[in-house]
Amino acid sequence: MKPKKITRRDWMIRTATGVAAGAVSMPTLLAQQTAPPGSVQQLAVPAGAQQVPGPVEPPTPQDANRDARMEWWHEAQFGMFIHWGLYSQVGRHEWAFENEAFPMTEYEPLAKTFKPRPMAARQWARVARGTGMKYMVMTTKHHEGFCNFDSKLTNYCAMQQGPGRDLVREYVDAARAEGMRVGFYYSLMDWHHPDGANCLTDPAARDRFVEYTHGLIRELMTNYGKIDVLWYDVHWPLDVDGWQSVKMNEMVFGLQPDIIVNNRNGLPGDFSTPEQTIVAATGGRAWETCMTLNDSWGYQRADDNWKSPATVIRNLITCARDGGNYLLNVGPRPDGVVPEDSVHVLEQVGQWMKRNGETVLGTDLCQPRTSNYASFTRKGNTLYMHVHFWPGDYVAISGLQVGVKSAKMHASGETVAFTQDKFRVKLTGLPEEAPDNPVTTIEIECDDVPTQDTLMVRKEKPRDGVGYSG
């Protein structure tokens, strides 16, 4: 049978334009993504039965070249988020200013005492590359209002305060030196600017504050060369009209024609931003899950609730399987150093990625998802079975709808024996102990795009009537 390849790009295009895809129905895939594993709904939508409607928004000039602009991003799949600012000195989460109701007189002096070590960002970029990440997104200004960059519009900025230098410039240089794509996080909400809250009710304040905001974004889009991602955050207290978000994006694209923007200035932008949860966007929308490595974005000294390398890898696999990106956060200490515990986790992820990265990054949308101990990714007709909980001896896949041609351990290349009938693929002769750590990847070459149907197994697997006495 002729292999049918559904690339990540095809997926975005086909679901957005409503053209059914070849062997695998995209609506079926979507239905399966949103249903609990093994549930009836998971396979309830017949192939080609209906189309999932795309978001209904007036077209923007950026719609026309979105695929081209986002190609690198869909390939990249794994990025580093960096939350760093005055709050890092407090060491109690980036919301300390508001959630502890710091008086301004106690918080503002942190701008003077913020004295990070030179070129701290070099370590971030090295760690990102070592982890297998392809892009970075740094907080240029968080809700606290302090600009980590050099601004002509405020003296509440790194150049004119404690650091005495442009921390965003250092970040951009460091990221580029390690071959990382460069992203800027920018919070529209501002707890420091005098008009940051009363702009909701005072039109003159709104005019001033919106002009200030557009001005800061203009500086960011003008002074640092090519920027790959603009990551807006929290548009409180204004709406799209209040912020003049359409004009904002027009200015951004005027200065950076190839940039990608997210959806947090109230407009749909180029991608959705599920936070701390992995939920695929529908309607062909691009999406990126952002997630903390412990429970805080900004440095929180006592937060030791670190995700294990196994959890990080599994999350990355889940994002890749469903066509999304994974933006994983680090919160450097006030001196700029990424906490040792974070580095330790990321190093282990990076070691695994060196052996297995190509089975996750640059992969295609993957429909098979049901297993009690493994998750899946796919490239063309190759199915990667990532075994998280190694059962020993053999592993099995239920309801695979294509023929298996061969199987091997991905890291060692060792051939894996298998048997296949209508219901089960059984990979046999496996060692008792997991050959790779923390996740073992088995590469399964199929004769077509692999899909899985466990409901068929439930309905059709012969029932031998054991115990039937009628």
Which residues are at the interface with ligand GLC (CB under 6 A)?
A: 83, 94-95, 233-234, 275, 290, 297
**Residue type at 293 in one-letter notation:** L
Q: What span, in angstroms and rounded, lies between the C-alpha atoms of 41 and 54? A: 21
Taking the least distance from each CB to ligand GLC, the nearer of 229 and 402 is 229
Q: Radius of gyration of the chain from Cα atoms?
A: 24
CB of 77 to ligand GLC, least distance (A): 18
Q: Using an 8 Å Cβ cutoff, are 431 and 379 in contact? A: no
Burial of 200 (0-12, 13-18, 19+ CB in 10 A): middle
The one-letter code for the residue type at 243 is W
Count other Cβ atoms within 10 Å, centred on residue 247.
11
Closer CB to ligand GLC, residue 292 or residue 440? 292
Three-state secondary-structure class, residue 381: coil
Give kind and range of the element (H or E) at residue 310.
helix 309-321
Instruction: Please name the residues in contact with 321: beta carbons below 8 A apart, sequence gap of 6 or more.
Output: 363, 365, 366, 369, 375, 376, 377, 378
**Least CB distance from residue 296 to ligand GLC, whole Å?**
9
**Smallest distance, ligand GLC to C-beta of residue 234, A:** 5
Q: How far is the CB of 34 from ligand GLC (least distance, A)?
A: 22
Residue 233 beta carbon to ligand GLC: minimum distance, rounded to whole angstroms: 5
Q: How far is the CB of 290 from ligand GLC (least distance, A)?
A: 5
Q: CB 187 → ligand GLC: shortest distance, Å? A: 7
Beta carbon nearer to ligand GLC, 83 or 388: 83
Minimum Å gap between C-beta 190 and ligand GLC is: 13
Nearer to ligand GLC, 83 or 314 (CB): 83
Residue (299 or 384) nearer to ligand GLC, CB = 299
The conformational region for residue 297 under phi > 0 = left, psi -120 to 50 = alpha, else beta, is alpha
d(CA 30, CA 45): 9
DSSP 320-353: HHTT-EEEEEE---TTSPPPHHHHHHHHHHHHHH
* DSSP 3-state of 449: coil
Residue with smaller CB distance to ligand GLC, 191 or 297? 297
Nearest to ligand GLC of 1, 302 (CB atom): 302
Q: Smaller CB distance to ligand GLC: residue 135 or 297?
A: 297
